[in-house]
Structures are given as structure tokens and as C-alpha cells.
Chains A and B, each alone.
Chain A
Amino acid sequence: MDVLTPRSLDEALRLKTEHPDAVPIAGGTDLMVALNFDRERPGVILNLGEVPELRGWSRDDGLLRIGAGLTYAEAMAEPLRSLLPALAEASRTVGSPQIRNRGTLGGNLGTASPAGDSLPPLLVEDAEVEVASLGGSRRIALHEFLVGPKQNALAPEELIVAVLVRPSGAPQTFMKVGPRNAMVIAVCSLAVAVDRERGELRAAFGSAGPVPLLVIAPLAEADGFPALVASAASPIDDVRGTAAYRRHALRVLAVRGLERCLAA
């Protein structure tokens, strides 16, 4: 296995064009498991740890631009925590402190797992993904970026650069079901927001279909919303849980989430 370590975004994009098969690594919390178990054997990895443009976040006229290298620990810190509360709650459920110090939002997007914890809260907030190649950058709505289980809309010569989101300010929460409260891949998860300004109930589930999915209903339809969320899911039976359990759990989480958000 060979490594490429670019020192700027421009250099990273040039290298990705020259070596489209190079596998990007940031926090490594997904990729290293695959390497240690010999499930993946990339010829070249692209070490993104030294690219300053991917770090931190900025705000321009209400639009947050969150670098792909933002860690879960950083997403849990103020003021991001207050701007995107459900994302902070989801980050709190990722792995353990050591994993949250390394794992990044860009990595969660790159892996595009149906169980990616940051994805439901970002869907609820209508986030976009900024990707770039030498030819320029483009923005992709998150629901279009997630195309299948562990598949995203990234072209081989592109890199994930940032997440763009305009915080709604709506009461919101995130819940995750698992056998313990740490080091767990979600059996299922749900982000819920009650957006009175838009007049919408919004929920996005994880681990209950090929991709995390956003479900929207008018504010007045709170009573039927949990059933709507459960019916929008297309879960499967697997090692972590059954399809029937996941559907049931989503209904329960939706009730609970609405209670929390409507009380706020």
C-alpha cells in the first residue's frame, strides 16, 4: 500500500485526478477497520489529514460551511451545538470519545452507510454536500448525494470538501436504538424536527432502508406522522435487528421525538 499526503486542497484535487483509485482517509474510523480485517486492500491511499482547507467551519449570511474534516467532537462543541442541535446529539452517539476525536462528517458522507449517524440530522436540515475536482466544485443536495447503501454521487476524481447548511432553528432531536449507548452501529435511528416556520414535521431515519430518508408532513398531521415515518421505511432483517422491529422502533421514536419537539 502506498500513500499520498497532499498539503493543500489544490494538491489533493490534482492527486485525485492523477490517481482516481486512491482511497481518501481522514479520521480513518471506517477505513482502518476494513484495512485491519483485510476487507480492503487499496493500492494507494490519499491522506487528507494535512489539508487545512478541510478543517473548521465558517458562517456567511446564515449559511454554515462545515469543512469535511470536522470531527464529531467539534460538532458537539458550542456554538455549532446550538446551531445544529440534532447533529450534536447524533455526534454524541458516535462510537466513543476516541472515535469522536477522529471521525469526520466528510468520512460519514464518503462511507454513505445507511447507518451513518450524521446523515439523518443533516437531511432534516436540508444540507448540501460540496464536492470538488480540478474542474471546479458542485453542490449536491444530500438526498441526491446518497444513492444507495455505501454508495454516493461522488465521481472518481472528486473529493468531499464541505457540508452546507442553513440552520432552521426548529426544535429538533436525534434518537438511536442499539444494544448499548456507545460503540454501536444503529439498529435504527431517527432525527425529528418540528419546523413551525415552514409549517412542517420533518423526520429522517437511518438503518431502515438502503439510504437514510427524509419524511415530511404538514404540522397539523402530527397524529399520523409516526405511522407515516414507519411506512416510509424499507428495512431488512440483518444481524442487528429484524425489519419488523425496526419499523416498530421507528414509530416509537417518532412519537417520542414529536413529544420532545412540540414541548420545546
Chain B
Amino acid sequence: MPEPVSEQTISVEINGETYEQEVEARKLLVHFIRDVVDLTGTHVGCDTGNCGACTVLMDGKTIKSCMLLAIQADGATITTVEGLAAGGELTPLQRAFSASHALQCGYCTPGMLLSAAYLLEQNPHPSEEEIRRGIQGNICRCTGYVNIVEAIKSVAEGGGA
């Protein structure tokens, strides 16, 4: 029977690379990603699950990585924003964000990109309402969302994220 432990060894695949590491039970996944693995593209905004800046893909689904302990990700496969342009070449979605001026300060952009990529994977041709529902868990304080929606729409129409 397991005993309570304050540290646990986890194995997590992030952007194709496996990290096996002992982590404190209390460590948030987002802090594991940023501070241990040193992938700082994933941002911390609110720590309450509201803002979506910390959104990553876990086993193919978007989650908020401040709402998860690192130990809960043991055995999982994670994609962060750094995993999108894996070969150094931006994805069509990233290019569309750039072309449509879908970012200003950029703080929300990593999470926004992952929510948009997840949406387009589930629903390659979303309506504007579906796009807005798809990014409802990601707050942007600069753009007013119009250009973000435009960017996602242009990828949906152009075929493929």
C-alpha cells in the first residue's frame, strides 16, 4: 500500500521529449514546464483557471496547466507552444496570427494558439460562433478578439492548422 509522499517521480513527454524527474507533490504542471523543463512559452496569468494563458495540450486535449499538479500529468503527452513550430517553421495557424495582427502584447498568444489548434482539430471548419466558443477560456486584453477570430477563420477556410 502506498504511503503519502511529498515528492514523486513522474515521466512526462513534452513536445516529443521524455522528462523523468522527481517533483514536489505540490508543484503545478505549469511550473514544471516553465521552471524544471525551462519551456517558458507557456505563461501564468491568473492561477485560478480563468485566463487560459497556461493552456497546453495534454493527451491531445486542451487543459489549463495551472489547474493541474505535475504529478497528475505522470505518463501524459504534452504539447506546449514550442511544440507547434517543432521544425522551426511556423504552422499555418501561427502565420495567420501574424498576418492578421491577432496579437499585440502576446501574453495570451501561446494559450490562444493551442486552443485554436485544438478547435480546428476537432472542427476543421468552424463557424464564427464556434470559433468564439472555442476560445472562450482564453482572455485577451489587447485585441478585442476580432483579429484572433479572423486569423482562425482564415486557417479554417484555407484548410488545415
Give me the interface of A with B, judged by CB distance under 8 Å. Answer: 1-6, 11, 14-15, 18-19, 22, 25, 27-29, 32-33, 35-37, 43-45, 47, 49-50, 73, 95-99, 101-102, 181-183
Residues of A contacting B67 with CB < 8 Å?
27-29, 32-33, 98-99, 102
Taking a contact as CB atoms under 8 Å apart, the answer to whether A96 and B6 are in contact is: no
Interface segment, one of B33-41, B46-54, B79-87, B144-152: B46-54
Chain B contact residues, majority secondary structure: loop
Chain A contact residues, majority secondary structure: mixed
Residues of A contacting B3 with CB < 8 Å?
4
Give me the interface of B with A, judged by CB distance under 8 Å. Answer: 1-6, 8, 25-26, 28, 47-50, 52, 55, 61-64, 66-69, 71-72, 74, 115, 118-119, 133-134, 136-138
Taking a contact as CB atoms under 8 Å apart, the answer to whether A97 and B25 are in contact is: no
What is the bound-complex CA distance between A43 and B68, given in angstroms? 17
Taking a contact as CB atoms under 8 Å apart, the answer to whether A99 and B49 are in contact is: yes
Taking a contact as CB atoms under 8 Å apart, the answer to whether A98 and B66 are in contact is: no
Q: Given A3, A99, A102, which contacts B8 in the complex, CB threshold below 8 Å?
A: A3
CB distance from B42 to the nearest CB of A (A): 13
Residues of A contacting B66 with CB < 8 Å?
32, 36
Taking a contact as CB atoms under 8 Å apart, the answer to whether B49 and A95 are in contact is: yes
Instruction: Supply 20 A–B pairs (Cβ within 8 Å), ascending by A.
Output: A1-B6, A4-B3, A28-B69, A28-B72, A29-B49, A32-B67, A32-B68, A33-B67, A35-B26, A37-B47, A43-B4, A45-B69, A73-B61, A95-B49, A96-B52, A97-B118, A98-B55, A98-B115, A98-B137, A102-B63
Taking a contact as CB atoms under 8 Å apart, the answer to whether A97 and B136 are in contact is: yes
| In the complex, residue of chain B having the shortest beta-carbon distance to the beta carbon of A43 | B4
Taking a contact as CB atoms under 8 Å apart, the answer to whether B1 and A18 are in contact is: yes
Residue in A14, A98, A101 whose Cβ sees the most chain B Cβ within 10 Å = A98
Residues of B contacting A99 with CB < 8 Å?
49, 64, 67, 137
What is the bound-complex CA distance between A231 and B160, given in angstroms? 53
Q: Given A4, A37, A102, A182, which contacts B68 in the complex, CB threshold below 8 Å?
A: A102
